[in-house]
Structure 1
Amino acid sequence: MTKPNRLQRAVKKLESYPKSWYKPLLSWTIGRTVPFVGTAGIRFEKMTTEEVIITLKNRKKVRNHIKQIHAAATALLAETATGMMVGMNLPDDKLPLMKTMKVNYVKRSQGAMKAIATLTPEQRQLLHSEDKGEVLVKVVVTDEAGVVPVECEMLWAWIPKNKKKPAMETAK
């Protein structure tokens, strides 16, 4: 069993509050930590090392000209879900970095949207065992009608937080 990271500990702490407070507090906390996520109004429904589920209501501030959730907001939803999935599994001494984001818009969306991100047990183990690497995080984005309006591919990398400094040679 691996040691819980900072994000896991924060989520666990929020679970100690009354159940009805958990999702609003989780959403507020992450929205304050990542301001763009808070501004967009992304809501966190579930955060575990196995699955992250987030939602976005079709509200005026995230709409495009045809009253659907804007393409950029949809990409933010997928990126946030996958980033949190990596964050829930990455040890504290490593830094997650978005490497590649591919978003194919295949259908018009209807109403609110939901993103579900997952990692395989092998991918989670890789995040713990390698100093640096990359992982393609699976994410499924659906709209209110249960349709998949976008197909997303999110490639995340990780590196050590603190680069090793070369040993200084003494000058004589």
Structure 2
Amino acid sequence: MPASPLKLFRLLGRTAAGRWTFSRIICAKAPYFASIAPLIEALAPGRCVVTLRDRRRVRNHIGTVHAIAMCNAAELAGGLATDVTIAPGQRWIPKGMSVRYLKKARGTLTATARVEAPPADAPAQEAHALVEVRDAANEVVFDADITMWVSPRRE
């Protein structure tokens, strides 16, 4: 990707077509995310919002949105939020994820990730991306705490 994700989102994210294009670019870079066809609605340091439409390919055997589809949306939102929050001299990788499935998930879901920036000059450390997934009634159906390992970039 030629530009940083944040710069690219600021360029494309002002319109629905631009957000769709940005989402497809991210899915091309990390192809597994394409399995849920996410739409990245908002991206700023400390925050990312991703929507996931309820359709057959993300459903489980009981007709609700599959737990792993929500994990996928949470990891995308948490990863992007972390990526645009850390300092340019840092890198990140998910280290673990704790999730809670709070109620049956139906309809369009919105995953909102929040992450605090670790100090730019800090040694390698953990950061936490906290993600809530809400349904159309604004009820939390799932939440996650994604542990990110943030370390200085190697030269």
Bin of the TM-score, shorter chain as denominator length: 0.7 to 0.9
Structure 1 residue 41 and structure 2 residue 37: aligned?
yes
Superposition RMSD on alpha carbons, in Å?
A: 2.0
SS of equivalent residue, structure 1 residue 90: coil
Is the 8 Å Cα contact of residues 109 and 147 (structure 1) preserved in structure 2? no
Identify which of 10, 19, 24 aligns with 2:20: 24
Match of 1:116 in 2: 112
Match of 1:138 in 2: 130
Identify which of 99, 114, 121 aligns with 1:129: 121
Q: Work out the CA distance in 2 between the residues paired with 1:39 and 1:84.
A: 17
Number of corresponding residues: 153
Q: Measure how far apart 1:104 and its partner are.
A: 1.3
Q: Work out the CA distance in 2 between the residues paired with 1:26 and 1:62.
A: 21
Counterparts in 2 of 1:146 and 1:30: CA distance versus 1, 3 Å: same
TM-score between the two structures when normalised by the length of structure 1: 0.80
Match of 1:71 in 2: 67
Is the 8 Å Cα contact of residues 48 and 88 (structure 1) preserved in structure 2? yes
Q: Percent identity?
A: 23
Q: Measure how far apart 1:114 and its partner are.
A: 0.7
SS of equivalent residue, structure 2 residue 140: coil
Which ranges of structure 2 fall in alignment gaps of 5 or more residues?
A: none
Counterparts in 2 of 1:149 and 1:135: CA distance versus 1, 3 Å: same
Greater share of helix: 1
Greater Cα radius of gyration, structure 1 or 2: 1
AA at the equivalent of 2:60: N
Q: Structure 1 runs of 4+ off > 6 angstroms?
A: none
Which ranges of structure 1 fall in alignment gaps of 5 or more residues?
A: 164-172
Q: Work out the CA distance in 2 between the residues paired with 1:55 and 1:142.
A: 10
